[in-house]
Structure 1
Amino acid sequence: MEGQITTFLTFQKEDAEQAMNFYVELFSNSKIIDLQRWGKEGPAKEGTIMLATFSLNGKLFKCSDSPPVHDWDFTPAVSNYVECTDENELQRLFANLSENGAVMLPPDNYGWSQKFAFVQDRFGVSWQLNLQ
């Protein structure tokens, strides 16, 4: 069944909308598809994201602002892998995603591709950027 698996991002600092907008602006062919907000009667802060669906370069994602704060958060063990079309794209994505985030591996040739970088963005989401 096509479309059966979608990446879901659970945000715990009421920043799901900020992250989603950042990603949609950063990647081409991206858009917000659906957005549902928590109301006055909901368990989360009114106006935060109950459920949003968006696409990044055609790949579907969902996200929410979680009402409870969990003992877990994002981990670099699960990341988004991006095949970059050229070095300029890799450098642009690296600069934007690593700003106020963390660099696990700076852009370099590590032996498996022309250039590769691994970053965690300011929201805690990890990204592997690859240039074949």
Structure 2
Amino acid sequence: MKKIISLLIIALSILSCNDVKRDNTSERELKALQSEIDSLKRLKVNKPSEITEQIATFLTFQDNNAEKAMNFYVELFNNSEIVNVKRWGKDAPIEEGKIMHATFIIDGNLFMCSDSPPIHDWDFSPAVSNYIECEDENELEQLFSKLSENGNVTMPLNNYGFSQKFGWVIDKFGVSWQLNLK
């Protein structure tokens, strides 16, 4: 990437230093090259280990189930781990040891959660859900089975016309999941 930008900068320098009279075509080419350089400067290529998430799913639990839910998801999905957990202390507005803030990875995606001391007028909504593209039917059925255990199936596994096999479930913690077979 740096080589491409360097070459384009050199090309622009040569063109701008050239005493040859520029015609409209040269001006257009120069502007196109400058546009290309500007686009490349905005492009940031990251190695997978350097990717930082700017958007993460944050799950606020009002029933003190943050840790149970986090452990359930990390065990259920491949490529998952708990990254960091901060707990409420003894003088907190909630039971000591409950999760103040936790960060975890589900299949390579950043999630966060907490046990909320105040009880809000809202809870999880199926209108916002986690959408999972499953590699094969076995993965789809296993995830659907585990996520629907003690939960609520809103759309059973089926062919709905937009997918060969799709299901939607709200798990036992109230979190909504759409599962789709690629």
* Fold agreement, TM-score > 0.5: yes
Which amino acid in 1 is paired with 2:69? A
State the alpha-carbon separation in 1 of the partners of residues 162 and 117 from structure 2: 41
Q: Which residue of 1 aligns with 2:108?
A: 58
State the alpha-carbon separation in 2 of the partners of residues 70 and 15 from structure 1: 15
Q: Which residue of 1 aligns with 2:156?
A: 106
Using the TM superposition, give the Cα deviation of residue 90 of structure 1 relative to its aligned residue in structure 2, in angstroms: 0.5
Using the TM superposition, give the Cα deviation of residue 121 of structure 1 relative to its aligned residue in structure 2, in angstroms: 0.1
Q: Which residue of 2 aligns with 1:116?
A: 166
The structure in which a higher percent of residues are strand is 1
Residue ranges of structure 1 left out of the alignment (5+ in a row)? none
Using the TM superposition, give the Cα deviation of residue 113 of structure 1 relative to its aligned residue in structure 2, in angstroms: 1.2
For the pair 1:127 / 2:177, whether they are aligned, the reply is yes
For the pair 1:74 / 2:110, whether they are aligned, the reply is no
State the alpha-carbon separation in 1 of the partners of residues 167 and 73 from structure 2: 17
Which amino acid in 2 is paired with 1:20? M
Q: Which residue of 2 aligns with 1:95?
A: 145
- Aligned residue pairs, count: 132
Moved over 2 A (4+): none
State the alpha-carbon separation in 2 of the partners of residues 9 and 93 from structure 1: 19
Match of residue 19, structure 1, among 69, 75, 84: 69
Q: Which residue of 2 aligns with 1:5?
A: 55
SS at match of 2:78: coil
SS at match of 1:18: helix
State the alpha-carbon separation in 2 of the partners of residues 44 and 84 from structure 1: 38
State the alpha-carbon separation in 2 of the partners of residues 38 and 44 from structure 1: 7
Greater RCO between the two (CA within 8 Å, min separation 6)? Answer: 1
Which amino acid in 2 is paired with 1:27? F
State the alpha-carbon separation in 1 of the partners of residues 115 and 83 from structure 2: 17
Using the TM superposition, give the Cα deviation of residue 114 of structure 1 relative to its aligned residue in structure 2, in angstroms: 1.2
The structure in which a higher percent of residues are helix is 2
Residue ranges of structure 2 left out of the alignment (5+ in a row)? 1-43, 45-51
Using the TM superposition, give the Cα deviation of residue 87 of structure 1 relative to its aligned residue in structure 2, in angstroms: 0.3
Q: Compute the TM-score of the two structures, normalised by the length of structure 2.
A: 0.71
Q: Compute the TM-score of the two structures, normalised by the length of structure 1.
A: 0.98
